[in-house]
Amino acid sequence: MTVYSLPTLDYGYAALEPFISAEIMELHFSKHHQAYVTGANTALDKLAEARTSADYGTISKLEKDLAFNLGGHINHSIFWRNMSPDGGGQPTGPLATELDSTFGGWEAFQRSFSEVALSLQGSGWAVLAWDCLGGRLGLYQLYDQQNNLPAAQIPLLQLDMWEHAFYLQYRNVKADYVKAWWNVVNWDDVSQRLDRAHSLPTDLI
């Protein structure tokens, strides 16, 4: 069963240079992201087999495998579109207004998001999300691919802080990676995600 598949990348592997190297992009997209896609489909297959054979004792492990791998697939799918060779600068329009009212201005948001990214312990993501219940933006540290994010948060902007995302180019200097990444953020994509999140029904929860 192939439910999930690798999305298309809207730009070439070298398109985000010098901020993110082609070597990182190729490995990250074609190997790491592909592994999450394969893992999510495999978990679904095994869950179906477990139900067919009434082997319910394996379900706990398989559901964990599904959460991790589907998390990886979703996170990376958003991450690629959050970036563009034409990115960088500052957001405008309703997104800028929302960031100002929630975080106290562009600089305060940028410093907060960077701090969320740089203070992660272990592997994870910095996430700007729309909270459907509160009707507000929020920042989260997403651990591994699936932990520490409440349900019904719609991801708008994600930064991959796993070592595979930066180590070949930035080694252990995470701060330089985060500083460079701001130059490729696709604010048009983030704004469109916020627009769509705003249109979600308010009685989802």
Distance CA 11, CA 131 (A): 30
Nearer to Mn ion among residue 118 and residue 204 (C-beta): 118
Structure-token match 């960077």, residue found: 114
What is the layout of strands, in order, in the sheet containing 153-160? 136-143, 124-131, 153-160
Distance CA 168, CA 177 (A): 11
Cβ–Cβ < 8 Å for 7, 169: no
Shortest gap between Cβ of 82 and Mn ion (angstroms)?
Answer: 12
Nearer to Mn ion among residue 27 and residue 152 (C-beta): 27
Q: Candidates 81-89, 120-128, 158-166, 177-185 — which segment interacts with Mn ion by CB under 5 A? A: 158-166
Q: Candidates 11-19, 55-63, 121-129, 161-169 — which segment interacts with Mn ion by CB under 5 A? A: 161-169
Size of the site for Mn ion (CB under 5 A): 3
Shortest gap between Cβ of 75 and Mn ion (angstroms)?
Answer: 7
Q: Candidates 99-107, 129-137, 138-146, 152-160 — which segment interacts with Mn ion by CB under 5 A? A: 152-160
Which of 65, 98, 160, 189 lies at the binding interface for Mn ion (CB under 5 A)?
Answer: 160
**What is the enclosing helix (H) or strand (E) of 124?**
strand 124-131
Shortest gap between Cβ of 154 and Mn ion (angstroms)?
Answer: 20
Shortest gap between Cβ of 188 and Mn ion (angstroms)?
Answer: 22
Query: Which residues fall within 8 angstroms of residue 92, CB to CB, at 6 or more apart?
Result: 187, 191
Shortest gap between Cβ of 165 and Mn ion (angstroms)?
Answer: 5
Shortest gap between Cβ of 170 and Mn ion (angstroms)?
Answer: 14
Shortest-Cβ-distance residue relative to Mn ion? 160
98 binds Mn ion (CB under 5 A): no
Q: Which residues pair with 126 in a beta bridge?
A: 141, 159
Distance CA 112, CA 139 (A): 8
The DSSP code sequence of 130-156 is EETTTTEEEEEEEETTTBS--TTEEEE
Binding site for Mn ion (CB under 5 A): 160, 162, 165
